[in-house]
Structure 1
Amino acid sequence: MTDAAATNIEAIGLGSKVDLLNLTRSELEAFVVEDLRQPRFRADQLWHWLWLRGARSFAEMTNLSKDLKARLDVRAGIVWPAVDVARTSSDGTIKLLLRLADGERIETVLIPMGEHYTQCLSTQVGCAMACSFCSTGELGFTRNMSMAEILGQILVGREHLAKAGLPTVRNLVFMGMGEPLLNLGELLRSLETLGSAEGISIASRRATVSSVGIPQALKVLGDSGLAVPAISLHAPTQELREKLMPKAARVPLDELLGCLDRYPLKPRERVTYEYIMLGGVNDSLAHARQLVKLLGQRRCKVNLIGYNPPPPSVSPAPPYRAPEPGVVLAFEDYLRSKRITTFIRRSMGQDIAAACGQLKLLAGPEEPGADRA
C-alpha cells in the first residue's frame, strides 16, 4: 500500500480497515485471496461493483454472501469524496467542490462535449508550482491525493451526471488542482486502474496528463505507456517562462524539449503544448515567431488558451488581462501558416470560476450557479 493510501485510511478513521478504492486490480485480488481467504473470482465481483456499478456499500452487492459482506464490513470500507457544492455554468459546465475524508477540499470540473463529458481531475490539494497566472497556485501545496481520491472524482462526477439525466464522462484531463507529475506514484496507479474493462473503462488515448514538465517523471510516464502529456509551456523563451512560471522554469527549455523529443509516441500521437495567452505579455506575432522557432520541427500540436481572470470577488485587480480576439486569431493563423497544428481552446465555465487557471475552492453561496449538497 502506498504512503498516500495509508494516509487516507488513517484520516478517514478506518484504522486497520482497507479502503478498497485505494487498491489496484492486483492489490484487490491479493486482499481477497490472502486476507479474506476467498476464491479469486470474488475480486472480479468486487471490482465490478466498485468501479462499474459505483456501489457505495457492501449491502448493495447482491451476488455476495451475507457472511462475506459481514467480513468486508469488518475489514474494509468504500470512501467517496463528498459533494459540498455543485455549480452549473450558463454553458453547461459543472464544477463540484468536493470534501475529502480528512476535511480537505478540491475541485473537479465536468465539461460538456456534445454527446459526452470531459472531466478535469485534480491530483493534489493545492499546488506548489505558483505559476503567476493561475489561481490554484495562490493556495500553496497541502498534500498529494491518493488513487481513491483521484478516481473518486470520476465516481462522483458520473453519479452527478446520471442523476441529472446527462451523458456520462468519456474523456479525462488531469488538469485540475496540482501538478500530476509531483504525485507520480498515485497518478500511475490511477491510470493503470482506468483501463480496466470491468471498471471505469476509459482507454489511455482518452486520458491526458497536463504538466509543467518534469523530465525524470516524464520519462517514467513515457515508459509506462499509460498517457500522452500536455505540456504547460506558456512562453516561447526561457527568459519569459522564468517570469511567468519561475518554479517550472528551473528546468531549462532545452532540457525539457529534449526530454519530450524522446517521449515514446504511437504513430498518430503528438505532444500537446498548452499556451495561455496573456494580453500584451506573450501574444504578439513576435512571440508567435519565437514559438515557431522553438516547436516548428517537433512532433506536436499547440492549444491556445485565452487568459481567464479570477472573479472580481477574488481578485479585483488581476495580474494579467485576456488577449484581444483578433490577436489570438492572428497568432493561430501564423502558427498554422508554418505547418504547426494549432487549436484555440474555448474557455468554458468562466462564470463559475471553472475555466483553466481559475480553480480556487470558491464555496460562497452568493456565487452564480451554486447548489449546496
Structure 2
Amino acid sequence: MTDAPITQDVLTIPRKLPVDGRTNIVGLTRDALHVALIDMGTPEKQAKMRVNQVWQWLYFWGVRDFSLMTNLAKDYRAKLADHFDIALPEIVSKQVSADGTRKYLVRIAGGHEVETVYIPEEDRGTLCVSSQVGCTLTCSFCHTGTQRLVRNLTAGEIVGQIMLVRDDLGEWPEAGVGTGEQGPRLLSNIVLMGMGEPLYNFDNVRDAMKIAMDGEGIALSRRRITLSTSGVVPEIARCAEEIGCLMAVSFHATTDEVRDKLVPINKRWNIATLLDALREYPRLSNSERITFEYVMLKDVNDSDADARRLVKLIAGIPAKINLIPFNEWPGSPYQRSDWDRIEKFADIIYKAGYASPIRTPRGEDIMAACGQLKSATERQRKSRAQIAAETGTA
C-alpha cells in the first residue's frame, strides 16, 4: 500500500467576505494576522505588538467589536474595522438534552449547516467540533456518513464553534479577571469528532487548533484536544508534528473484511498499515497513548473472538479502548449490542491490561450522541425524498 498524495475536490470558501471585501480576522494564524496588519499599513516595528493586542481581545476576552479594543488608538481601531470583520458562524438552534448535553445547529457561509455538541461532565466540559459539511467516508454505522460532503470548514469556522459555545456558556473572562480565577473551565476539552474527517481538512484544522492552544487566548492544552480519524494514514505523522494533540482512531473491527464494510477507508489503508502509523504516533507527538474507538454492533463485531483479536492487534501500542454502545438512528442497518455482551467484551480487554471504559450514551434524546450528527437541512431533504418515493411523485 503506497502513501499516495491525498486529493479531494472539496471547496473551502475564501476568507474574503463578498459583501464589502473585508477579511474575516477570526481564524487567521498569528503569522497571517501579522502579514494582514502590515498590509493594512501597520508599521513593521509595531506589528508584533499589535498582533498580540488584537489576539488577546479576540481570543482571551471574546470581544467582537474593534471599537472596544481600548488599548489601541481610536484611529487604529477605525482602520481595523475598515479592513477586517469579526465574523462567527450563526447558531440557528440549540437543543438541551435531559442529561445536560447541548446540541447546536450552526450555519456557516453559504447557508450550509453543521452540528456542534457540548457535553458537561463532573470534572470537565467537552466540545465535539465539526470540521466538514457532511462527510466523504460513508461509514455504514454513522448517520453523518449518509450526508454528502459539501465542503471543508475554514479555520475561522472551526475555532468559531468554540467561541460560540463559550458565548452560550458565558465563559469569557470578566474585565480584570484571569480565567484561572473563575474556577474550573466549563469548556475544558475539545474533541474533533463531529461532522467530517479532520485529516481530510488538515490545514484548517491545524490552524484552528493552534489558535485554541495559544496561551494568550483560549489557551487549551494540546492534551485537552483529541483528534479522531478513521485512518487517513499519510496525515497521522503530520498531525503529530504540526498539532501534537491526542489521537483517537475509529477502529470498530478486528478483520479487514468487517472493517471494509464499516469503515470503507480501510480499503485504501488496511488495519496493518493503520496500526504501523499509530505505533509511531505517541513517540512523535509525545502523547501518552492512542484511544481506539470501538462501536458495539450486535452480531457484527462484538464476539469474544473479536475482543481477543483486538488485544493482539494493538499489542505494543500504549492504548485505551473506548467501547461505544451503538447509537441508533432512523434507517440504521445495525443494532446496539446487548449490555451483557458489551460488558463481557470489556472484561476480556481489561484482563489483557487495557483500560476499556464503556462510554455512557449522551444526548440520545436530541440525536446528539456519537455517530448521530447530521444537519437539520439534510434530514429534511432526505425526508422529502423518502416521502416522494413512497407516494410515487419522485
* TM-score (norm: length of structure 2): 0.85
1:281 paired to 2:300:
yes
**1:108 to 2:126 alignment:** no
- Name the counterpart of 2:249: 231
Q: Distance between the aligned counterparts of 2:240 and 2:124, measured in 1?
A: 28
Residue 225 of structure 1: how far off its partner (Å): 4.9
Q: Bigger shift: 71-80 or 216-225?
A: 216-225
* Aligned-partner Cα distance in 2 for 1:77–1:97: 23
Query: 2:93 corresponds to which residue?
Result: 85
Residue 145 of structure 2, aligned match among 120, 123, 137: 137
Question: Which residue of 320, 324, 332 maps to 1:318?
Answer: 332
What's 1:301 paired with? 320
Q: Does the Cα contact within 8 Å between 2:293 and 2:322 map onto a contact in 1?
A: yes
Counterpart residue number, 2:32? 27
Counterpart of 2:342 in structure 1 is 328
Shift of 1:16: 3.5
- 1:357 pairs with 2:371: yes
Residue 22 of structure 2, aligned match among 17, 25, 46? 17
Matches within 5 A, 1:63-74: 63-74=71-82
Q: Does 1:94 align with 2:102?
A: yes
* Segment drifting more, 164-173 vs 336-345: 164-173
Residues 232, 273 of structure 1: 8 Å contact kept: yes
Secondary structure of the corresponding residue to residue 137 of structure 1: helix
* Letter in structure 2 aligned against 1:232: S
Identity over aligned pairs, percent: 37
Q: Any conservation in 1 of the 2:133–2:149 contact (CA below 8 Å)? A: yes
Q: Is 1:271 equivalent to 2:277 in the alignment?
A: no
- The SS at the match of 1:22 is coil
Report Cα offsets for 1:125-164 as digits up to 9, x if no partner. 1100000000101111000011000000000001101189
**Cα–Cα, structure 1 residues 14 and 44, in superposed 2: closer, same or farther, change >3 Å?**
farther
Unaligned 5+ runs, structure 2: 1-8, 173-181, 381-394
Count the aligned residue pairs.
357
- The corresponding residue for 2:386 is none
User: Which segment drifts farther, 114-123 or 93-102?
Assistant: 114-123
Is the Cα–Cα contact under 8 Å of residues 129 and 248 in structure 1 kept in the other structure? Answer: no
How far did residue 213 of structure 1 move? 1.0
CA contact (8 A) 2:144 2:372 kept: yes
Aligned to 1:55: 63
Whether the 8 Å contact between 2:12 and 2:152 is mirrored in structure 1 is no
Higher relative strand content: 1
Contact 2:159 2:209 in 1 (8 A): no
1:371 is aligned to none
Contact 2:159 2:208 in 1 (8 A): yes
2:313 match: secondary structure: helix
Which one-letter code corresponds to 1:77 in the other structure? D
Q: Verify the 8 A CA contact 1:191 1:226 in the aligned structure 2.
A: no
Structure 1 window deviating more from structure 2 (197-206 vs 292-301): it is 292-301
Partner residue of 2:232?
A: 214
| Kept after mapping to 2: 8 A contact 1:219/1:259 | yes
Is 1:201 the counterpart of 2:219? The answer is: yes
Aligned counterparts of 1:322 and 1:99: Cα–Cα separation in 2:
32
Against the structure 1 CA distance between its residues 13 and 225, is the aligned structure 2 distance closer, same or farther, given a 3 Å change threshold? closer
Query: In structure 2, do the counterparts of structure 1 residues 219 and 327 end up closer, same or farther at CA, with 3 Å as the change threshold?
Result: same
Q: Is the 8 A contact 1:130 1:137 kept in 2?
A: yes
Residue ranges of structure 1 left out of the alignment (5+ in a row): 366-373
What displacement does 1:60 show? 2.3
